[in-house]
């Protein structure tokens, strides 16, 4: 299938100076009130035209119609009944070139040209519109049809997981009489669609280890989180750790649906993990109760496979040297034993720069990674450690992926900017992005932050290149601040090598140990709003 239309940008990065903090015991402590200005475009009414009367046979079709809205809209799914109501009340935008054939919709609003819908959505993030599948792009978040899962999950989804794509899709259309839609605009080939999910930092020590081992709940409990809500609004932390101010915290209450978090993560075609600390044999491992000396037992790797479905992992985190050379060697050996491709850590620099590869949808996808966070040993020609984030190492790792004929190169810097509590990109991070762009990174999915960072959308030669500054903690045990309790699972959808859709799924860590999904339209809004305030999204879709 031909890719959707190429996009171009009209905006540069917005970089806002944010908080400065030290690892795990921040001094000065992060200020919850410090946030960059929102870059979301204000609501605007899209240009409209008169809907042509479908008096003749359709020229093309039937073809599937995606339901799209703005990236910052908290709405995550839509039912057919809601779609019908929006149509009747003039709140559903329909392309002028399309006649909806299934289900029957009484659309009363003036139509909008199909190639103008993405621009209209950028201007009005609450807009809900129909769009031929071939015109979906990153600016237009696709809404799955509501299913029977929590928060309406698990329904039919043209751009979702393999299971969701396989469900019968209920929304179809044909070309309206007297209009023209190209084969590229209406085409949809499910075999070329694939999804990628990324978790935040994985290091199930401290809080998770306490629940699993000390309190005997077991590792399955840690990885089997469901859904949650908050017991009221955020409150000042009544018992902050030494040196940390009374920042707001949330009080999650689990609401059942065990396994929902793992199902969402593992259901993607590819799942990427970010290992924050060493892996040791279970027989020699013991929990840590402080910031240093973090590690996890081999037991968690079985859960990576059975619960999270991890396909590849990047490793150059600041805690990878916590157990010395022994920990580095053990991590590499155990990941190889369990069959997890990895990148960013090695017994020497060549090993640390070696990409991790995954085969999906007929493509070879490469992951490469480096670190700029103080702490770990830097890999050398003959010494173990992490791949350090500098221009020479960026070029070397990306060139390895190119030499191996990778179709898509996803770069995963483990970074601060310059601290782990800054949601926006700093000057040093933007400099590193320049190295990655010049080397040939197609997408940048970063990690290392202990909170959820911003998203930046930019043009490249194949549509849109995204920088996700970091999804936040996942299993890391920091419950002193709402921003470190919450995170998002990043879900990207590709058609071939082109990124066409991005969705963020909010979660909260229960007892600093177990991730539980939040309703994006309810308590999940806190973390999403912080992300959008730190983001730069207003690129301009190309309509020609």
Please give the DSSP secondary-structure letter assigned to residue 150.
G
Q: Are residues 440 and 466 in the same domain?
A: yes
Q: Hey, is 314 helix, strand or coil?
A: strand
Q: For residue 412, which of 356, 494, 338 has the smallest C-alpha distance? A: 356
Q: Are 170 and 224 in contact (CB under 8 A)?
A: no
> Count of domains in the chain?
2
The pair of structure tokens assigned to 28 is 């000065």
Q: Residue 541 pLDDT more than 90?
A: no
Other CB atoms within a 10 A radius of the CB of residue 51 amount to 18
Question: Which CATH number do you get for residue 283?
Answer: 3.60.21.10
Last residue within a domain, chosen from 137, 169, 188: 188
Q: Are 68 and 121 in contact (CB under 8 A)?
A: yes
Q: Are residues 413 and 494 in the same domain?
A: yes
Q: Are residues 99 and 203 in the same domain?
A: no
Taking only the tens place, the pLDDT of each residue in 403-453 is 999 999 999 999 997 788 999 999 999 999 999 999 999 999 999 999 999
Which of 21-25, 94-98, 350-354, 362-366 is least confident?
A: 21-25
Q: Residue 263 pLDDT more than 50?
A: yes
C-alpha distances (whole Å) from 485 to each of 31, 478, 511, 526 are: 15, 6, 9, 11
Percent of the chain exceeding pLDDT 90 equals: 80
pLDDT at 520: 98
CA 539 – CA 455 distance, rounded (Å): 12
Q: What mean pLDDT is reported for the chain?
A: 88
Pairing verdict, β 193-202 and 270-275? parallel
Q: Hey, is 311 helix, strand or coil?
A: coil
Q: Are residues 27 and 81 in the same domain?
A: no
Q: What is the mean pLDDT of residues 387-402?
A: 98
Q: Which residue has the higher pLDDT, 33 or 315?
A: 315
CA 79 – CA 144 distance, rounded (Å): 8
* Residue 234 included in any domain: no
pLDDT at 242: 83
> What residues are paired with 70 via a beta bridge?
140
Q: Residue 96 belongs to what domain range?
A: 63-188
* Residue 80 included in any domain: yes
Q: What is the mean pLDDT of residues 211-217?
A: 96
pTM of the model: 0.88
Question: Which CATH number do you get for residue 100?
Answer: 3.40.190
Q: What is the mean pLDDT of residues 470-480?
A: 93
CA 179 – CA 83 distance, rounded (Å): 24
Query: Could you tell me the pLDDT band of residue 241, with boundaries at 50, 70 and 90?
Result: confident
Q: Are residues 104 and 208 in the same domain?
A: no
CA 335 – CA 202 distance, rounded (Å): 14
Please give the DSSP secondary-structure letter assigned to residue 354.
P
Q: Residue 340 pLDDT more than 50?
A: yes
Q: Are residues 309 and 392 in the same domain?
A: yes
* Residue 280 included in any domain: yes
Taking only the tens place, the pLDDT of each residue in 39-97 is 333 233 233 222 233 333 334 579 999 999 999 999 999 999 999 999 999 999 999 99
Q: Are residues 254 and 174 in the same domain?
A: no
Q: Are 393 and 387 in contact (CB under 8 A)?
A: yes
Q: Residue 484 pLDDT more than 50?
A: yes
Q: Are 40 and 72 in contact (CB under 8 A)?
A: yes
Query: Could you tell me the pLDDT band of residue 246, with boundaries at 50, 70 and 90?
Result: confident
Other CB atoms within a 10 A radius of the CB of residue 10 amount to 8
Largest CA distance in the chain: 75
The torsion region of residue 55 among left (phi > 0), alpha (psi -120 to 50) and beta comes to alpha
Q: Are 12 and 457 in contact (CB under 8 A)?
A: no
* Residue 382 included in any domain: yes
* Residue 526 included in any domain: yes
Q: Are 415 and 448 in contact (CB under 8 A)?
A: yes
Q: What is the mean pLDDT of residues 150-154?
A: 97
Q: Are residues 286 and 314 in the same domain?
A: yes
Q: Are residues 518 and 392 in the same domain?
A: yes
pLDDT at 179: 87
Q: Residue 159 pLDDT more than 90?
A: yes
């Amino acid at each position: 299938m031909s890719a959707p239309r190429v996009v171009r940008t009209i905006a540069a990065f917005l970089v806002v100076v944010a908080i400065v903090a030290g690892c795990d015991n921040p001094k000065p402590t992060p200020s919850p009130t410090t946030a960059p200005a929102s870059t979301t475009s204000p609501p605007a009414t899209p240009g409209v035209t008169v809907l042509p009367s479908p008096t003749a046979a359709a020229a093309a079709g039937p073809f599937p119609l995606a339901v799209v809205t703005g990236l910052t809209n908290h709405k995550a799914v839509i039912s057919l009944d809601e779609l019908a109501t929006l149509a009747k009340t003039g709140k559903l935008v329909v392309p002028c070139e399309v006649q909806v054939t299934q289900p029957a919709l009484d659309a009363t609003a003036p139509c909008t040209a199909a190639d103008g819908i993405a621009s209209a959505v950028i201007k009005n993030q609450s807009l809900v519109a129909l769009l031929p599948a071939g015109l979906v792009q990153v600016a237009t978040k696709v809404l799955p049809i509501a299913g029977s899962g929590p928060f309406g999950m698990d329904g039919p989804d043209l751009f979702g997981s393999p299971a969701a794509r396989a469900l019968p899709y209920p929304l179809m259309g044909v070309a309206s009489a007297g209009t023209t839609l190209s084969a590229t605009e209406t085409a949809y080939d499910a075999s070329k669609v694939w999804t990628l999910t990324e978790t935040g930092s994985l290091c199930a020590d401290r809080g998770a280890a306490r629940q699993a081992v000390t309190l005997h709940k077991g590792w399955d409990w840690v990885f089997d989180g469901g859904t949650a809500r908050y017991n009221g609004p955020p409150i000042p932390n009544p018992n902050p750790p030494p040196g940390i101010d009374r920042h707001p915290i949330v009080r999650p209450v689990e609401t059942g649906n065990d396994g929902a978090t793992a199902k969402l993560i593992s259901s993607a075609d590819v799942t990427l993990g970010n290992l924050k600390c060493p892996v040791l044999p279970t027989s020699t491992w013991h929990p840590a109760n402080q910031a240093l000396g973090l590690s996890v037992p081999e037991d968690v790797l079985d859960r990576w496979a059975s619960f999270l479905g991890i396909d590849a992992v990047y490793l150059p985190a600041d805690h990878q040297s916590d157990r010395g050379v022994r920990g580095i060697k053990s991590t590499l050996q155990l990941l190889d034993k369990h069959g997890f491709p990895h990148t960013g850590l090695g017994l020497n620099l060549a090993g640390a720069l070696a990409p991790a590869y995954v085969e999906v949808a007929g493509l070879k996808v490469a992951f490469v990674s480096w670190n700029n966070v103080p702490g770990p040993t830097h890999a050398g020609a003959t010494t173990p450690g992490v791949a350090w984030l500098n221009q020479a190492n960026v070029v070397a790792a990306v060139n390895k992926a190119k030499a191996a004929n990778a179709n898509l190169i996803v770069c995963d810097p483990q970074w601060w900017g310059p601290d782990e509590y800054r949601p926006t990109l700093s000057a040093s991070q933007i400099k590193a992005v320049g190295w990655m762009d010049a080397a040939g990174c197609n997408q940048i999915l970063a990690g290392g932050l202990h909170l959820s960072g911003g998203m930046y959308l930019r043009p490249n030669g194949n549509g849109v290149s995204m920088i996700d500054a970091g999804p936040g903690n996942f299993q890391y045990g920091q419950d002193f601040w709402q921003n470190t309790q919450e995170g998002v699972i990043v879900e990207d959808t590709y058609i071939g090598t082109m990124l066409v859709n991005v969705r963020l799924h909010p979660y909260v860590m229960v007892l600093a140990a177990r991730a539980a999904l939040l309703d994006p339209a309810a308590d999940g809004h806190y973390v999403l709003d912080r992300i959008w305030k730190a983001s730069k999204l207003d690129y301009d879709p190309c309509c020609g």
